Structure 1
Amino acid sequence: MSYPELRTPEEKLADAKERLAIPRIVCICGSTRFMALMAEAAWRETTEGKIVVKPEVDMKGAHPLWADPAEAESLKTVLDELHRAKLRLADEVLVVGPYIGDSTRAEIHYARRLGRSVRFTHPEVDPDAES
């Protein structure tokens, strides 16, 4: 008796993207201190025909949504989960900026574990680059 080959959710997603002729999706990562650079990178990637997902909320400035420390911590958790979902959706990752912190470093490692190609606007900050 022959059993059907079970596909992973990732394989099903890749197949659906191909069947729907979805353009490549790039997820932009980096410190929110580089939001202007991220916007420029998103513009460039979009004009190359890619769908771009990136951080949209910069919690470094004051805002009523995260004025309360408990609410801020909760929102940060939600935003981190949302960004990991963007990484899972993406075909590739573009890390923007001349500096990466712990959060971006964790995102890079997560993306690579997922098998995503990772590019850098500043390749010297790649934490896995050979010295």
Structure 2
Amino acid sequence: MSNVPVARPRIVCLCGSLRFSEEFAAERTRLTLDLAIVLAPEATEASVLDSSLVQALGELHLRRIDLADEVRIVNPGGYIGEATRREIAYGTASGKRITYLHEPAMTDT
């Protein structure tokens, strides 16, 4: 057991395209070492998911945002897709702090 005191840790939800798995892993590690609790979607092995399952997984991810103090957008090169835009809008409407791996262009948000 560690002697390092950890008060109420910051909870960070990672959002972005799962094609950036290496960047997600790097952010997860960096934030964990910064003593944050990290919530993130999990990539699935299935190549084709049923549309109702895709919708349910999207809603599940919004519940992760509900639990978070901060929404961290993993967006290498500034890329932000449609689902991530929805998550940013949801986090913003919920009063969450939104941060980015790479700052988006003003027209991206």
* TM-score (ref. length: structure 1): 0.69
Match of 1:62 among 32, 47, 51: 47
Cα distance in 1 for partners of 2:57, 2:105 equals 23
The amino acid that maps onto 1:76 is V
CA RMSD of aligned residues (A): 1.8
Structure 1 residue 35 displacement after superposition? 1.6
The 5 A counterparts of 1:1-131 are 21-58=7-44, 62=47, 66=49, 72-97=50-75, 98=77, 99-125=79-105, 127-128=108-109
Structure 1 residue 58 displacement after superposition? 4.3
Greater Rg, structure 1 or structure 2? 1
Query: The residue matched to 2:55 in structure 1 has which SS?
Result: helix
Structure 1 residue 62 displacement after superposition? 2.3
**Bigger proportion of residues as helix:** 1
Question: Do 1:100 and 1:125's aligned partners in 2 also have CA atoms closer than 8 Å?
Answer: no
- Alignment identity in percent? 40
Cα distance in 2 for partners of 1:73, 1:40 equals 30
1:46/1:112 Cα in 2 relative to 1: closer, same or farther (>3 Å)? same
Q: Deviations for 1:57-89, whole angstroms, at most 9, x for unmatched residues? A: 247x627xx3xxxxx212111110110000000
Structure 1 residue 124 displacement after superposition? 2.4
RCO greater where, 1 or 2, for CA within 8 Å and sep 6 or more?
Answer: 2
> When the two structures are aligned, how many residues end up with a matched partner?
100
Cα distance in 1 for partners of 2:71, 2:105 equals 14
Dislocated runs of 4+, deviation >6 Å: none
* TM-score (ref. length: structure 2): 0.82
